[in-house]
Structure 1
Amino acid sequence: MSDTVQQLLTILDLETLEDDLFRGVSPNNGWQRVFGGQVIAQALGAAIRTVPAERICHSLHAYFMRPGDPAVPIVYTVDRIRDGGSFTTRRVVALQHGAAIFSLSASFQKNEEGFEHQIAMPDIPKPDELPDGKALEKTILKNAPAAVQAYWKRPRPIEFRPVMLDHYISGKKLEPFQHIWVRCREDVGDDPVRNAVVLAYLSDMTLLDTALFAHGLSVFDENVQAASLDHAMWFHRPAKVSQWMLYSQDSPSSSAGRGLTRGSLYTLDGMLVASVAQEGLIRPRRSSR
Structure 2
Amino acid sequence: MMTTSGIFTDAVTLEKAEPEHFDLAFTAVTQPCPWPKAYGGDLVAAAAAAAMRSVTDGKTLHSMHSYFLRPADIGAQVRYEVELLRDGRGYSTRQVRGYQNGKPLYAAFANFAAGEPGGSYRAELAGLVNPEELPSSAGFRAGRAGDGYRAEMAGLTNEGELPSSAGFRAGRAGDGYRAEMAGLTNEEELPSSLEFLADGAGDGYRSKTAGLANPEELPSSAKILAGRRSKTAGLADPEELPSSAQFLADRAGGTMTDESKAYWAGGRSFDMRHVPGPVYLTVEGAKVPHQAVWVKPFDPLRPVDGLTDAQRDLAALAYVCDYTILEPVLRVLDLPWARPGLVTASLDHAMWFHREGPVDDWLLYAQEAVAADSGRGLGYGRFFTRDGLHLATVAQEGMIRAS
Give the TM-score of the pair, scaled to structure 2.
Answer: 0.65
Among 258, 269, 275, which residue is 2:393 paired with? 275
Whether 2:187 is the aligned partner of 1:187: answer no
Unaligned runs of 5+ in 2: 126-231
Deviates more, 1:6-15 or 1:263-272: 6-15
> Does 1:161 pair with 2:279?
no
For 1:47, give the aligned amino acid.
A
Change (3 A) 1:228 1:238: same
Q: How does 1:25-174 map to 2 (within 5 A)?
A: 25-29=29-33, 31-121=35-125, 122-123=232-233, 124-138=235-249, 142=251, 145=254, 147=256, 149-165=261-277, 167=279, 168-170=281-283, 174=287
SS at match of 1:280: strand
**How many angstroms does 1:97 deviate by?**
1.3
Establish whether residue 24 from structure 1 lines up as the match of residue 59 from structure 2. no
CA RMSD of aligned residues (A): 2.2
Query: How far apart are 1:205 and its partner, in Å?
Result: 1.1
Whole-Å separation in 2 of the counterparts to 1:164 and 1:99: 41
CA distance in 2, matches of 1:7, 1:172: 30
Counterpart residue number, 1:7: 7
Residues 120-165 of structure 1, C-alpha deviations (whole Å, 9 max, x = no match): 2243222123223443235xx6366461745433433111111222
Q: In the alignment, what sits opposite 1:217? A: 335
Runs of 4+ in structure 1 off by over 6 angstroms are none
Q: Deviations over 1:155-176 (max 9, x none)?
A: 3311111122264425887111
Q: Quote the Cα distance in structure 1 between the aligned partners of 2:352 and 2:106.
A: 19
The residue that corresponds to 1:235 in the other structure is: 353
Give, in whole Å, the separation in 2 of the partners of 1:158 and 1:150. Answer: 13
Of the structure 1 ranges 242-251 and 171-180, higher mean CA displacement relative to structure 2 is found in 171-180
Amino acid at match of 1:20: L
2:260 pairs with 1:256: no
Give the structure 2 partner of residue 199 of structure 1.
317
Q: Structure 2: how far apart are the matches of 1:110 and 1:67? A: 34
Which deviates the most, 60-69 or 141-150? 141-150
Larger relative contact order (C-alpha < 8 A, sep ≥ 6)?
Answer: 2
Contact 1:258 1:282 in 2 (8 A): yes
Structure with more of its chain in strand, by fraction: 1
Give the CA deviation at 1:77. Answer: 0.6
Aligned residues: 282
**Greater shift after overlay, 245-254 or 71-80?**
71-80
Percent of pairs identical after alignment?
Answer: 33
Shift of 1:53: 4.6
Tell me whether 102-111 or 24-33 shows the greater mean CA deviation.
Answer: 24-33
C-alpha contact (below 8 Å) 2:244/2:266 kept by paired residues: no
SS in 2 for 1:169: coil
Which residue type is aligned with residue 277 of structure 2?
L
Partner of 1:226: 344
Residues 1:118 and 1:217: Cα distance change in structure 2 (over 3 Å):
same
**Gap runs ≥5 in structure 1:** none
